[in-house]
Homo-oligomer: A and B are copies of this chain.
Amino acid sequence: MQMFPAVALLVVGSEVTKGYVQDAHVSFFAEALQAEGMELGEARILPDHEEEVKKAILDLHQDFFIIMTGGLGPTEDDKTVDIISDLLSVEPTLHPPAERRIRAVFRKKDKNFLKRALRQGRIPSGVEVIENKIGLAPGFFAPSLALVALPGFPLEVKPMWETVRDILQKHVLQKPKPIILPIWGIGESDLFSQLEIPEEVEVGVHALPYGCRLFVQSNHSDVLRSFTEQIQEKFSACIMENPEQSIFEILKSKKETLAFAESCTGGLAGKIFTDMPGSSEVFLGSLVCYHNSVKKNVLNVKESTLIKYGAVSQQTALEMAEGARKNTGATYAISWTGIAGPTGGSLEKPVGTLFCAVAKSGETRVAKFLFPLGRKRFRLVAVYAGYLGLLSMLKGHSCSRSAVSRFVAIGEKNHEV
């Protein structure tokens, strides 16, 4: 039996190439294949054009096992069954169980309607059917084309994955699965300058909102183990699935609470934290104080501080964190004040400047960052810099060159970083 080195995904649907619907198949299959140690060698998205689709199948068939989605519906431009039948030199035929389901669903409709609906019950003669438990169009496997055809709706495809996976395992080569290390608060360049990657190890990087997710793979299991242990030791304070989840779990276990004081992040810190279902167990609220008057009235930042140091300063950041903690009664508070841009920068405090403070009873810490990344990324990175500052306070250990190490404890009388 021929074993293919990789899989190609062929997504057919003009609704995707016209931008009406966002494709969801590529990320689903990329992740599912990766988890099985199989490679997605290519993904191709085409409109419902019969000839182009046929050409693409013949092209991809040379190198890949093909997973194809779309074109199985009831309308005239759904041509997958016709295309595959033609390539196999067979006739389309009605699949009896599908026909029965369609007749049952549309039994009250007129003849023409039923005739059109029955189109989606067709399969090329001789293929192996893959049952569609949600929609009406069956999927199928054509062994001689090394091709699986599935419907276009992701909701219908997901329950069919296990059957598809079993087919793939007999026809596609599988590698060892990768080890995944999410390292937060450190940029790609800074991280790699601290890594010595053995030749036998392959490292892939995915950017986190602030940090890198490493995918480490090797055929030498001993080299792989010692390399990942070295990383885990060096960056232990920074390795976690995500910082908000880590904060949530620590505070929940200690029955402690959290509040935010946001300026430049505008609510994003609260938004990300409350994306987690159940976050209300530890999260009391976030006082988003964009205007100085609100910083004074709601967070009790002193007018003299705002005048002397400005709204974007470590002093204001510290008073914001303290104010949020006191006014909400939270155990911990994080504050953010900075210049997201595009305007508002100065020579001394350019766009991208961020002051971030964390406070608990009797201790405050503050850090200054410069993230000249544009408004949107600045705000996202800023949020995570603050989360990591709190984690360094909660966990009491740190990590070279990462945001976790940047927060400096501040005494009552000494506000210089």
List A residues at the B interface (Cβ < 8 Å).
Answer: 14-23, 26-27, 29-35, 39-47, 52, 59, 74-75, 105-106, 109-110, 112-113, 116-117, 133-134, 153, 155, 188-189, 193, 204-207, 213, 215, 257, 259-260, 262, 265-271, 273-275, 277-280, 283-291, 293-294, 297-298, 327-329, 340-343, 372-377, 379
Establish whether residues B298 and A291, one from each chain, have CB atoms under 8 Å apart when the complex forms: no
Establish whether residues B18 and A277, one from each chain, have CB atoms under 8 Å apart when the complex forms: no
Question: How many angstroms from the CA of A340 to the CA of B277 in the assembled complex?
Answer: 8
Question: How many angstroms from the CA of A277 to the CA of B344 in the assembled complex?
Answer: 10
Taking the closest CB of chain B, its distance from the CB of A242, in whole angstroms, is: 15
Establish whether residues B266 and A376, one from each chain, have CB atoms under 8 Å apart when the complex forms: no
Taking the closest CB of chain B, its distance from the CB of A78, in whole angstroms, is: 11
Establish whether residues B43 and A193, one from each chain, have CB atoms under 8 Å apart when the complex forms: no
Question: How many angstroms from the CA of A52 to the CA of B64 in the assembled complex?
Answer: 13
Establish whether residues B43 and A44, one from each chain, have CB atoms under 8 Å apart when the complex forms: yes
Establish whether residues A327 and B297, one from each chain, have CB atoms under 8 Å apart when the complex forms: yes
Total copies of this chain within the assembly: 2
Question: How many angstroms from the CA of A270 to the CA of B264 in the assembled complex?
Answer: 11
- For this complex, 26 residue pairs linking A to B, each with C-beta atoms less than 8 Å apart, are A19-B30, A19-B31, A21-B207, A41-B47, A42-B47, A42-B52, A44-B44, A44-B45, A45-B45, A105-B372, A110-B193, A153-B207, A155-B376, A260-B267, A265-B271, A266-B270, A266-B274, A266-B275, A266-B283, A266-B286, A267-B288, A277-B375, A285-B287, A287-B287, A294-B328, A298-B328
Establish whether residues A18 and B215, one from each chain, have CB atoms under 8 Å apart when the complex forms: yes
Establish whether residues A271 and B268, one from each chain, have CB atoms under 8 Å apart when the complex forms: yes
Establish whether residues A271 and B280, one from each chain, have CB atoms under 8 Å apart when the complex forms: no
Q: Which of B26, B213, B376 contacts A20 (CB 8 A)?
A: B213
Taking the closest CB of chain B, its distance from the CB of A216, in whole angstroms, is: 12
Establish whether residues B343 and A327, one from each chain, have CB atoms under 8 Å apart when the complex forms: no
Establish whether residues A18 and B44, one from each chain, have CB atoms under 8 Å apart when the complex forms: no
Taking the closest CB of chain B, its distance from the CB of A296, in whole angstroms, is: 11
Q: Which residues of B contact A266 (CB under 8 A)?
A: 267, 270-271, 273-275, 279, 283, 286
Establish whether residues A329 and B293, one from each chain, have CB atoms under 8 Å apart when the complex forms: yes
Establish whether residues A18 and B204, one from each chain, have CB atoms under 8 Å apart when the complex forms: yes
Q: Which residues of B contact A287 (CB under 8 A)?
A: 285, 287-288, 298
Establish whether residues A17 and B40, one from each chain, have CB atoms under 8 Å apart when the complex forms: yes
Question: How many angstroms from the CA of A59 to the CA of B62 in the assembled complex?
Answer: 15
Q: Which residues of B contact A43 (CB under 8 A)?
A: 16-17, 44-45
Q: Which of B42, B52, B259, B374 contacts A44 (CB 8 A)?
A: B42
Q: Which residues of B contact A189 (CB under 8 A)?
A: 74, 106, 109, 113, 116-117
